Amino acid sequence: MLIERIWAANDLRNFQYLIACAETGEALVVDPLEGQQCLDAARARGFTTRQILNTHEHLDHTAGNGTVVAETHAKVLAHAGAASRIGGVDRGLGRGDIIKVGRTVELEVLDTPGHTRSHVCLLAHGDSPALFCGDTLFNAGAGNCHHGGDPGLLYETFVNQLAKLPDATRVYPGHDYMARNLAFTIDREPGNADAARALEQARTHDPVHARVTTLGEEKRVNAFLRLSNPELIAKLREEFPDIGEQPDARTVFVKLRELRNRW
Ligand SMILES: [Zn+2]
Ligand SMILES: [Zn+2]
Closest Cα to residue 139, out of 245, 208, 45, 220? 220
Q: What is the mean pLDDT of the chain?
A: 97
Closest Cα to residue 77, out of 135, 115, 118? 118
Average pLDDT for 208-229: 97
Please check whether residue 38 is in contact with residue 29, taking contact to mean a CB–CB distance below 8 angstroms: yes
pLDDT at residue 14 greater than cutoff 90: yes
User: What is the separation of C-alpha 183 from the centre of its chain, rounded to a whole number of angstroms?
Assistant: 19
Render pLDDT for 30-83 as a digit per residue (tens, 0 to 9).
Answer: 999 999 999 999 999 999 999 999 999 999 999 999 999 999 999 999 999 999
CA of residue 231 to ligand 1 center, whole Å:
30
**pLDDT given at position 259:** 97
CA distance 208 to 227: 31
pLDDT at residue 155 greater than cutoff 90: yes
Phi, psi torsion values for 257, nearest 5 degrees: -65, -40
State the ligand closest to the CA atom of 12: 2
State the ligand closest to the CA atom of 175: 2
Please check whether residue 101 is in contact with residue 51, taking contact to mean a CB–CB distance below 8 angstroms: yes
pLDDT at residue 171 greater than cutoff 90: yes
State the ligand closest to the CA atom of 56: 1
**pLDDT given at position 126:** 83
pLDDT band at residue 127 under the 50/70/90 scheme: confident
Render pLDDT for 225-252 as a digit per residue (tens, 0 to 9).
Answer: 999 999 999 999 999 999 999 999 999 9
Average pLDDT for 193-207: 94
State the ligand closest to the CA atom of 154: 1
Q: Is the pTM of this model over 0.95?
A: yes
% of the chain surpassing 70 pLDDT: 100
CA of residue 175 to ligand 2 center, whole Å:
6
Please check whether residue 123 is in contact with residue 1, taking contact to mean a CB–CB distance below 8 angstroms: no
| Upper half-sphere CA count for residue 124 (Cβ side, 13 Å) | 23
**pLDDT given at position 4:** 98
CA distance 28 to 21: 9
pLDDT at residue 196 greater than cutoff 90: yes
